[in-house]
């Protein structure tokens, strides 16, 4: 089971400004386990942008949330899996065949490139969504049931873990066991604003609930001293012990 000593902290570098991303990464290096680069950053800078951040020495979580037919997703994974990123995402709602295609593409591409195979994890329900949002899109609720359905589908089809709100973390641990990676965004320390996240918890709560990779963005990057903010988040995680 995840503990305060084994849970990882990744900082989301939510910007399309490469210089800013490099500055943040340099400031927090040594205080986080890695950084997350999202779709906007990747569309702006592509593989060269990923390599520029890798040069600072931090593992990369490439959060593209791929969702398409299996062949297209496999092709997209092949295009990035050779970069040596640590984690990458697909939408679990893309279905079993799509997820299997993503895992196979990640394994074959990384091995051919001589880099570690990235952990492919499945996004269940975005942390910006609530029950009424699911109803509007025609998805079955309540929300925790949908998260569990998608998480079980992801693990059954070879994904290394899933992404969910910490609100569902304990439930997922009870259903999936201790092995799968449980990526938890929507983390907000008590001293930070909630922003556009609806299902949020503190870093310490996320660890206690079973989160194994916590993603924290603005509370760190928008702080006057990002390194100090990262240390404070880590301290909250350790306090969960």
**What residues are annotated to the active site?**
65
- 164 Cβ neighbours under 8 A, 6+ residues apart: 124, 125, 147, 151, 172, 182, 183, 184
Q: How far apart are the first and last CA of the chain?
A: 13
Which residue has tokens 């999936």? 176
Q: By three-state DSSP, how is residue 130 classified?
A: coil
φ, ψ for residue 203 (rounded to 5)?
Answer: -60, -45
* Inter-CA distances, 149 with 8, 31, 92, 108, Å: 25, 35, 9, 28
Measured between alpha carbons, how far is 110 from 122 in angstroms, rounded to an integer? Answer: 19
Check if the beta carbon of residue 231 is closer than 8 Å to that of residue 203: no
Using CA atoms, how far apart are residues 4 and 7, in angstroms rounded to an integer? Answer: 6
Which residue carries 């012990």 as its tokens? Answer: 241
Q: 240 is written with which tokens?
A: 């969960």
């Amino acid at each position: 089971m995840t503990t305060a000593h084994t849970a990882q902290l990744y900082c989301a570098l939510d910007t399309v400004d490469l210089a800013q991303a490099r500055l943040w990464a340099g400031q927090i290096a040594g205080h986080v386990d890695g950084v997350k680069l999202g779709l906007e950053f990747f569309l702006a800078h592509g593989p060269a942008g990923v390599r520029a951040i890798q040069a600072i020495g931090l593992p990369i979580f490439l959060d593209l949330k791929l969702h398409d037919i299996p062949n297209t997703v496999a092709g997209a994974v092949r295009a990035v899996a050779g970069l040596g990123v640590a984690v990458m995402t697909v939408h679990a709602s893309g279905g079993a065949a799509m997820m299997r295609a993503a895992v196979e593409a990640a394994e074959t591409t990384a091995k051919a490139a001589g880099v570690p195979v990235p952990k492919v994890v499945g996004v269940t329900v975005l942390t910006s969504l609530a029950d009424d949002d699911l109803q509007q899109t025609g998805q079955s609720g309540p929300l925790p049931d949908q998260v569990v359905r998608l998480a079980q589908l992801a693990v059954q089809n070879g994904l290394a873990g899933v992404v969910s709100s910490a609100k569902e973390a304990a439930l997922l641990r009870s259903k999936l066991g201790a092995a799968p990676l449980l990526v938890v965004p929507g983390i907000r320390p008590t001293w930070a604003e909630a922003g556009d996240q609806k299902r949020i918890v503190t870093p310490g709560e996320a660890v206690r609930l079973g989160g194994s990779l916590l993603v924290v963005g603005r509370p760190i990057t928008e702080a006057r001293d990002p390194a100090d903010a990262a240390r404070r988040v880590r301290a909250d995680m350790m306090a969960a012990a």
